[in-house]
A and B are shown apart, each in its own frame.
Chain A
Amino acid sequence: MTLIAIEAASRPHSRSFMRRFAGAPLPWIMPVIIVIGIFYLYPVIDVFRLSFTNATLIGDNQDYTLASIANMLSSPQLPDILWATFVFVGGSVIGQQILGLAVAVVVVRGEKRGLFGTTILRTTALIAWVVPGIAGGIIWQMLFSEAPYGALNSILRLMHLPTVAWLSDPAIAPWSALISNIWRGTAFSMVVMYAALKAIDSSLYEAAEVDGATGSQQFFFITIPQLRAAILVNMILITIMTLNTFDAIITLTGGGPGRATEVISLYVFNIVFRNYDLSGGSVLSVLMLIISLGLAVVYASFLPKEDER
């Protein structure tokens, strides 16, 4: 009897509390806010703060100074690092975008014509994509290796061609790193392009067909303009993913030979965790943030506006 009474008395109260609590968006979003706040926002603010100090990874004492910013930005290595990063990121974006689009176009065409092997190709490309970065680096090192088991050089030897110093020639190593990254990243572009191709209204092609447009005209005047938004979004994502790539390079070349493949993310890692220079690493981290934000803003400014579509 009493139990029921208590329940009856407490129910309206708890119910209205629940309703008020659950009807507002904030409690639902709270977990995300907390996680992002602790693990993204706070560290990023701290990186900005640390770049204005002379902090090291080991010592606790730090003073506020602009010296590490000045040191880092005037470091003679920085231009080389930025150039290596530019080649790696720029080449990856161009290569993955073009190859991803080409594979997607051929897969869509193949599906339409019922060609054999389209699903196999799509699946194989996607498999390369889920290979962990570390494993990808090891696999490509075996392919590029100049030891007897190196795949590419042993093909060249079979064909009696001169071998290539894929990873030890500073002029060639960046291209080798690029190829391995294109291998790993193309599938992502392919998925984005594939989805965008499927979303194009087929009546556009039918109308062009009636007007007598050739295949290449259809591609350049219908397909490419229709894909514009998807291409730009894809470029933003690949740029950022490549800029942050680090594990595949550390196993493939370790940044060498010399500094030929030392991209900025690897440089940050070495500065902080090998030289214990926390403030210098923070300066470079901020630089990385600025580069990726800047590129995102540039790409985004080319995006069609919502009302234009």
Chain B
Amino acid sequence: MSRRTGTRFGDFLSYLFMLAMFIFFAGPLTYLLSMALRDKREIYRGVARYIPHNPIVDNFITVLNNSYFPLYLWNGLKLAALSGFGVLIVAMPAAYAFSRFQFRGKGLSMMGLLLFQMISPLVIMVPLYRYMNRLGLLDTHFAVTMVYIALGVPLATWLLKSTVDGIPRSLDEAAMIDGCNRFSVFWRIVLPLSAPGIASVFIITVIAGWSQFLVPFLLLTQNNLMPIGVGIFNFRGMQTDSSIQLLAAACLISVVPAIVAFLSLQRLILGSMTSGSVKG
């Protein structure tokens, strides 16, 4: 009997904690939405108008009609998607090699890769800015994409390796006996079977690229080349307290694509991340 009331009480506490956490995590985002839907007068009512009496979409229209905003969105998408493909091209063969070959220094180089993950992008940006400047690559999307790729490669290689580890070696061996060489094993067997892992790494890289601020902020100066992160930052600089609803709308526009991409593939992404972290 006491055990049962204990469980009931535990359930009650769980619900209470879950509610508090839900408010903590969802509150800020719903407030952003609330602000983005308000007109100028309702802004000043604060939380008292959590659900606006006169919800409007004018703020979104104003933001999207801003001459640069659609360009920011396009640039952000382009850079993020290109870096997603780039990361896969660089990391996938290495993941295959780390999974299937035995060679000296393998463990060490895998650890080394993680070590690079620890380096702040800021540290490498200082010299990279100078090189890009010398090479005349400042203000090019090429330079920005290359740096995004470099930032994404260490983690991607680890995640892809654990995906390839999950494919039975006997399939490789059977294909080799049938006359496949390493390349065709990789191309015809490993690559198709890694599709879920590849998709999740692609999405993780794209979301990371979409969130990037530092790299484009330093390497780009022309407004028409800026991706969304920097665009929002500049847009914020132009707003005042009376146009905060516009900033909220702009912010929401920058947040929603990442959320949609993540939610639609949540299961896949978490699956690949957790399988990697459990195996270590």
Contact = CB atoms under 8 A, between A and B. Distances in A.
A292 interface: yes
A196 B278 contact: yes
For the complex of A and B, the 4 pairs showing the least CB-CB separation, nearest first, are A154-B46, A39-B150, A22-B182, A28-B97
B173 interface: no
A43 B128 contact: yes
A126 B48 contact: no
A171 interface: no
A46 interface: yes
A147 interface: yes
Interface string B151-189: 101100100000000000000000000000111000000
Given A31-B91, A106-B14, A247-B213, 15 more contacts: A25-B101, A31-B93, A44-B119, A110-B18, A121-B22, A125-B25, A134-B211, A139-B29, A140-B28, A142-B32, A143-B31, A150-B46, A154-B47, A195-B278, A215-B10
Interface of A: 15, 18-19, 22-25, 27-29, 31-32, 35-36, 38-40, 42-44, 46-47, 50, 57, 99, 102-103, 106, 109-110, 113, 115, 117-118, 120-121, 123-128, 130-135, 138-140, 142-143, 147-151, 153-155, 157-158, 183, 186, 191-192, 194-196, 198-199, 215, 229-230, 233, 240, 243-244, 246-247, 250-251, 265, 268-269, 272-273, 278, 281-282, 285, 288-289, 292-293, 296
A39 B232 CA distance: 27
Contacts of A113: 7, 11, 14
Given A123-B266, A247-B213, A151 B182 contact: no
Secondary structure type dominating chain B contacts: helix
Secondary structure type dominating chain A contacts: helix
Given A118-B18, A121-B22, A128-B25, A265 B122 contact: yes
Contacts of A296: 118
Contact of B28 (A147, A183, A198): A183
A55 to B, nearest CB: 9
Nearest to B93: A28
Interface of B: 6-7, 10-11, 14-15, 17-18, 21-22, 24-29, 31-32, 35, 43-48, 89-91, 93-94, 96-98, 101, 103, 106, 109, 113, 116-130, 146-147, 149-151, 153-154, 157, 181-183, 207, 210-211, 213-214, 218, 228-229, 232-233, 236, 241, 244, 247-248, 251, 254-255, 258-259, 261-263, 266, 270, 273-274, 277-278, 280
12 contacts: A32-B113, A35-B90, A38-B150, A40-B119, A47-B124, A115-B11, A121-B21, A134-B211, A153-B46, A251-B236, A268-B126, A278-B126
A137 to B, nearest CB: 9
B255 A154 contact: no
B17 A128 contact: no
Contacts of B147: 39
Contacts of B32: 139, 142
